[in-house]
Structure 1
Amino acid sequence: MSEYQYYEFLALDRPLDEEQVRQVRALSTRADITATRFVNEYHWGDFKGDPTKLVEELYDAHLYYANWGSRRLLLRLPAGSLTAKEATKYAMDDALSVWTRSGHTLLDFSVSSEDGGEWEFETSYTLSAFVGLRAELAAGDLRPLYVAWLAGLTVWELAEDDEANYAREIEPPVPAGLASLTGPQRALADFLGVDADLLAAAAEGSGPATADVVDRTALAAFIAALPAADKDALLVEAALSTASPGPRLLAHYRAATIVPGPRGGTGRRTAAELLDTAYRRRTDRSRREKVAQAAAEQARARAAAEAREARLDKLAENTEQAWREVDDLIGRKNASAYDAAVVLLGDLRALEARTGGTADFDRRAGELRLAHRGKPSLMQRFDGMGIPSS
């Protein structure tokens, strides 16, 4: 298989200036580069730049995947929108790394080639599928981080790690709404290869999703009650930052008004408990699928048997016409006609077998075999259906 790599960068909060565009252009002559986007596909060779450095200094999002299985999504947010301390609760070596640089929090969602398996190109991605995660995270929706933690747990399970590690690892705070992920969150789960049964098991400990529609009156009352110093800080941020302070304010509002889910800060599950629950769900689902498949096969068999019985009833109305049709089909001397003749002969034999014997059919079929013994292709078909030689 030939090599394939996809690189994409987006500048979302502020476009690159002319000097920065020239700087990026020096890294790739074939890439599609604008003040807000860089994209290139590599079928040979490699990207000359350092994606991590580019996001730390210029871009707000980066997407990478290769056909040997490596996948990476790198997001940069203003530190005031999401602190590294909050995000680090969900960090796991195999799926999510967190650090800060120049007043930003950087989130590195990644799966290595050994963990990710071969890429399926029937489903490809662009950054447009993921950029909504930045606004969700800035507004206090931490589901993307928990999804990344589950991705790390999926890697552990596939690697059959030491079970003692599973018992020691405690899940991070469980955000609400794991059972109803947003489009970008579903894309992230798919991109990182999160096991569907593990996600469903995790959702059992998650409360209902926060309503997307904010009560304007309640929000206004919340803002009015904020201390003057907090309001001043938000205005300063709005004046100095290219990122809107709105998501951060919504995050504060939701944190202050939403009732925590059933597993807010205590009673969190171990990795072992989650993996055991996922295994039970997977086993139950597999059993249900097998039962449904068996029922469907039985239904198809009954329908086929009923259709054949109806066909035989129709055939019984004029069997001599059917024998003449067999002669006509054989006379055409081609493979499709031979196949049709054999099917019709099978029906004639089954029709006679209804009365308890096939002696007359065997006699007439044997005469056919004798009359057409010079047609080897037809003889092979007669052998296949067991028509005896005369």
Structure 2
Amino acid sequence: MSEYQYYEFLAVDRPLDERQQAEVRALSTRARITATSFSNEYHWGDFRGDPRAMMDRYYDAHLYLANWGTHQVMLRLPRTLLDLKAVEQYRVDPHVAAWTTREHLILDLTSQDEGGDWIEGAEDSLSAIVGVRAELAAGDLRPLYLAWLAGYGTWERDEDAFDYDAEDELEPPVPAGLLSSLTAPQRALADFLRLDADLLTVAAQTSPPLAKTRDDPRELARWINDLPSGDKERFLLQVAQGHGARVQMELLRRFHGAPGISGDGRPRRTVAELLDAAADIRQERQRQAEASHAAEGVPPCTRT
């Protein structure tokens, strides 16, 4: 298979103006560029731009694919909506990283599998994943835990992915609602980062049920009415300037409050315990399959 790389960027909170579009056009004459998107694929050569710099200056989401096994997604949020301290708990070098600019926090989530099969349709993943931004802004930290778990899950297919002392690393706080209550964007993120289903099943064993919350419009209206007049004027100005999506995220974050980042006292498992438990599940499933085939009289050598 010849070389293949795919780049996609999305501007979610505010479209690019004509000057900004001209600036990114200078980086690629063949890219498909609109006020809210940039996409291009390469079968030879490389993209002349710096994705990190483009996220710093222009875009809120980025997806990168390469046929040597790289899956990467970046997400940009206002710093006021996602605390770097919360993100740091889920850092896994080089799979989960984050940095801040003057106004934003940017997440870099990467999966690498040089020996894996090409996943058809992976280029279409960003539109399914980008909803994770609003979930993180609302205080849902499940995407961070999924990325952390997928990062260490790399060890299952690459024994040299980490030093062995990483086996004793403790998991970060386990958010509520893993597995059965994952949202569609979270499932898309887990699939894109190649998160093993058995590993997720093990991780979810200590995840409490997701609390059922439904915003009361009357309570929200009263809360907005009580906001200081200066805040209301600032929010209205931002909406008029084209920042409506950001204002919505900030209002809901302030209404719901910031998520806790210290955990709830449940025992935290080591990386080795999680990986070993997932391996036990796979082995038990294989044992049951072999027993079923034996009962049906199917020789092991004929199985596919």
Instruction: Say whether the 8 Å CA contact 1:68–1:118 is kept in structure 2.
Output: no
Aligned to 1:206: 207
Inter-CA distance 24–271: structure 2 relative to 1 (3 Å threshold): same
Tell me if the contact between 1:8 and 1:126 (Cα under 8 Å) persists in the aligned partners: no
The match for 1:56 is: 56
Task: Write the distance in 1 (CA, Å) between the matches of 2:17 and 2:220.
Answer: 37
SS at match of 1:45: coil
| CA distances 1:10-41 after superposition (whole Å, capped 9, x unpaired) | 11111111111111111111111111111111
The alpha-carbon distance between structure 1 residues 119 and 238, as it changes in their structure 2 partners (threshold 3 A), is farther
Counterpart in 2 of 1:283? 283
Runs (5+) with no aligned partner, structure 1: 299-390
User: How does 1:304-383 map onto structure 2 within 5 Å?
Assistant: none
**Structure 2 gap ranges (5+):** 299-304
Q: 1:113 to 1:285 in 2, by over 3 A?
A: closer
Distance 1:236 1:266, change over 3 A: farther
Contact between 1:140 and 1:250, CA under 8 Å: does it hold in 2?
no
1:264 is displaced (CA, Å) by 2.3
Structure 1 residues 237 and 280: CA distance shift in structure 2, 3 A: farther
Q: How far, CA to CA, are the matches of 1:122 and 1:77 in structure 2? A: 26
Partner of 1:188: 189
Find the aligned partners of 1:214 and 1:288 in 2 and give their Cα distance.
Answer: 46
Change beyond 3 A, Cα 1:254–1:289? farther
Query: Retained in 1: the 8 A contact 2:198–2:282?
Result: yes
Distance 1:247 1:240, change over 3 A: closer
Bigger drift between 176-185 and 132-141 goes to 176-185
Q: Map Cα deviations across residues 282-336 of structure 1 (whole Å, 9 max, x no partner).
A: 22222233334445667xxxxxxxxxxxxxxxxxxxxxxxxxxxxxxxxxxxxxx
Compared with structure 1, are the counterparts of its residues 20 and 269 closer, same or farther at alpha carbon in structure 2 (3 Å cutoff)? Answer: same
Query: Which residue of structure 2 aligns with residue 309 of structure 1?
Result: none
Equivalent residues in 2 for 1:89-100, closer than 5 Å: 89-100=89-100
Q: State the AA in 2 paired with 1:144.
A: P
Cα deviation for residue 53 of structure 1 reads 0.3
Alignment of 1:236-251 (within 5 A): 236-237=234-235, 239-240=237-238, 242=243, 243-251=245-253
CA contact (8 A) 2:174 2:206 kept: yes
Is the helix fraction higher in 1 or 2? 1
Tell me, yes or no, if the aligned pair for 1:140 and 1:248 is still in contact at 8 Å. no
1:197 is aligned to: 198
Query: Displacement of 1:94 after TM fit?
Result: 3.0
Tell whether the 8 Å contact from 2:238 to 2:247 is kept in structure 1 after alignment: no
Which residue does 2:78 correspond to in 1?
A: 78
Output the CA distance in 2 between the equivalents of 1:248 and 1:41: 35
Question: How many Å separate the matches in 1 of 2:225 and 2:165?
Answer: 49
**Number of equivalent positions:** 290
Alpha-carbon shift at residue 170 of structure 1 (Å): 1.0
Alpha-carbon distance, 1:80 to partner:
1.1
Aligned to 1:214, what secondary structure does the other structure show? coil
Q: Once the 2 structures are TM-superposed, how far is the Cα of residue 166 of structure 1 from its aligned partner?
A: 1.1
Deviations 1:338-361 (A, max 9, x none): xxxxxxxxxxxxxxxxxxxxxxxx
* Correspondence for 1:387: none
CA distance in 2, matches of 1:73, 1:259: 25
Deviation, structure 1 residue 202? 0.5
Further displaced range: 52-61 or 275-284: 275-284
Task: Give the conservation status (yes or no) of the 8 Å contact 1:31–1:39.
Answer: yes
Residues 6 and 123, structure 2, Cα contact 8 Å, conserved in 1: no
SS of residue in 2 equivalent to 1:24: helix
Kindly name which structure, 1 or 2, has the bigger radius of gyration based on alpha carbons. Answer: 1
Name the CA distance, whole Å, in 2 between partners of 1:118 and 1:94.
21
Q: 1:60 Cα deviation (Å)?
A: 0.7
> Any idea what the Cα deviations from partners look like across 1:133-191, whole Å, max 9, x if unmatched?
11111111111100110011112343334543212x11111111112211111111111
1-structure distance, mates of 2:170, 2:246: 34
Asked whether the equivalents of residues 77 and 134 of structure 1 are also in contact (C-alpha less than 8 Å), the reply is: yes
The answer on whether the counterparts of 2:63 and 2:74 sit within 8 Å (CA) in structure 1 is yes
Partner residue, 2:154: 155
Question: Which residue of structure 1 aligns with residue 9 of structure 2?
Answer: 9
**Local SS of the residue matching 2:13:** coil
Match of 1:273 in 2: 273
Q: Which moved more, 1:150-159 or 1:245-254?
A: 245-254
Whether the 8 Å contact between 2:65 and 2:123 is mirrored in structure 1 is no
Q: CA deviation at 1:211?
A: 3.4
Amino acid across the alignment from 1:246: Q
Q: Is the 8 A contact 1:9 1:60 kept in 2?
A: yes
Match of 2:107 in 1: 107
Q: Distance in 2 between matches of 1:259 and 1:102?
A: 24
1:342 is matched with none
Contact 2:10 2:59 in 1 (8 A): yes
Query: What is the letter of the counterpart of residue 196 of structure 1?
Result: A
Aligned-CA RMSD value: 2.9
